[in-house]
Amino acid sequence: MNARTTPLAQEMAAIIAAEGPLSLDRFMALALGHPRYGYYMTRDPFGAGGDFITAPEISQIFGELLGLALAITWQNMGAPEGVVVAELGPGRGTLMSDALRAARAIPAFAETLEPHFVETSPVLMRAQAARLAQDGRDANWHANIDSLPEDRPLLILANEFFDALPVRQFQRAGDHWHERLVGLDPAGGLAFGLAQEPAANIPFAAPEGAIFETSPLSLDIMRRLGERIARQGGAMIAIDYGHAKSGFGDTLQAVKAHRFVPVLTDPGEVDITAHVDFAMLAIAAQRGGALAHPLLTQASLLERLGIHHRAEILKRKAENPAEIDRAVARLAGTDDAAMGLLFKAIAITAPGMAPPPGFEQPDPRLS
C-alpha cells in the first residue's frame, strides 16, 4: 500500500496497531507537527518551487497594509506605551517584516512595539529570525499563545494559521453521529473509518451521511485570545480561507507541489488544511469576552485599506509594473482563481474599542 511509503505513515500504522484508530485531529497533528517527520517541522513549503503560496509571499503590499492597520488601531487605543505585536504561524516572517516596515510611518508605534512569534517549526523559526535580522530586528518566540506577555496590550496577526490546526469530523448515521477515524485497511495502509460507538454531546441532527467538522484547538485558542484581549486590551486580525456561515461538509484537503492529493497519502510530505469556520471562531472569541466585528472578504479588506493606491505608488518605481497588477488581482480579485472572495478576515477587539480600519462597515459581498 502506498499509504505506508513515508516513515510517518509507518509510525502511524504502528500506533494504530497498538492503540486503535486515530482521531482525525491526532492524525493531522502528527502529519503536520510530528517532531521528526511533521510536514512543517522539516521544510519551508512556500513559494513557486514549494507546495503552496500565501498572500504575504505574493506581494509586500499585504503585510504593509496590515502593519498600517495595526498602527492605526494602536492610535485608536490611545497610543499606549509598550505593546506586543504577535503573529501566529508566521511562515517565513515575510508578513511581520513588511508590517514592521510600514509601521515606521508611525514612529512612536514602531518604537514602542515588541514583535513576538508563535511558531512550532524549528525550520521556519530560523527563517523568521533571518528575515527580521535583515531588518536589524530581533523577536521573541513562543511554542503556543500561553507564554505571550500578560502585562501589555496585544495586537495579533494570523494569516493561514487556523487552517493548519487539526480538525475532528463526525458523520451522521441513523440517529447518531460517529467520529471519522484513521485506521488500517486489510493491506495495512491508512484508511478512513467510523467509530462504532456514537459520539455524545453533539446537540443537533442532520441528514444521513452529513459530515460535521470542527477544530477544537482553533476554538480553544480563539477563546483564550479573546480572554487575553479583553483583559489586556488590543485587537486581532486573522485571515484565512473558509466560510462565513457554519455548515456541514468535509473540507479537509491535502496539497503537494500546488496540486490536490488524497489526504491520507504520504503523511508528513503533503500539506493538510481544512476550511476555517469563521462563525464559530467569532463565537469562541466572544465567549472569551472580546468583541468580534463583522467578517470581511479579503477583497473588501484590502480595497478598504488602500491596496490599489499602494499598488500605483509601487508601480511608479517598479521594473515590472505588470507583476504588481497580477499580484493585486490575485490577492483582491473576485474571480474563482483569485483569493479575494474565498479568503475572509475577522477582527477581534477588546470590548468598547473601535473596530480596526476596514472593519467599520459590514461587507456587502457577504450579505
Residues contributing to the site for ligand SAH (CB under 6 A): 32-33, 40, 46, 54, 56-57, 89-91, 95, 118-121, 124, 159-161, 164-165
Min dist CB 113 to ligand SAH, Å, is 18
Written as one letter, the residue type at 249 is G
By beta-carbon proximity to ligand SAH, the closer residue of 169 and 218 is 218
Pull the grid cell for residue 176: 447518531
Min dist CB 93 to ligand SAH, Å, is 9
By beta-carbon proximity to ligand SAH, the closer residue of 32 and 350 is 32
Closest residue to ligand SAH in the complex (CB): 89
Min dist CB 345 to ligand SAH, Å, is 13
Q: Name the burial class of residue 194, with classes exposed (0-12), middle (13-18) and buried (19+) by CB atoms within 10 angstroms of its CB.
A: middle
Min dist CB 212 to ligand SAH, Å, is 22
Cβ density class 86-119: b for 16+ within 10 Å, e for less: bbbbbbbbbbbbbbbbbbeebeebbebbebbbbb
By beta-carbon proximity to ligand SAH, the closer residue of 65 and 164 is 164
Min dist CB 13 to ligand SAH, Å, is 23
CA distance 263 to 252: 7
303 CB-side CA count, 13 A: 18
Tell me the pairing of strands 271-273 and 253-256. Answer: antiparallel
By beta-carbon proximity to ligand SAH, the closer residue of 120 and 171 is 120
CA-based nearest residue to 165, from 90, 263, 272: 272
**Could you tell me the maximum CA-CA distance found in the chain, to the nearest angstrom?**
64
- Assess contact for 189 and 1: CB atoms under 8 A: yes
CA distance 166 to 308: 35
By beta-carbon proximity to ligand SAH, the closer residue of 96 and 353 is 96
By beta-carbon proximity to ligand SAH, the closer residue of 88 and 350 is 88
CA distance 239 to 229: 18
By beta-carbon proximity to ligand SAH, the closer residue of 181 and 239 is 239
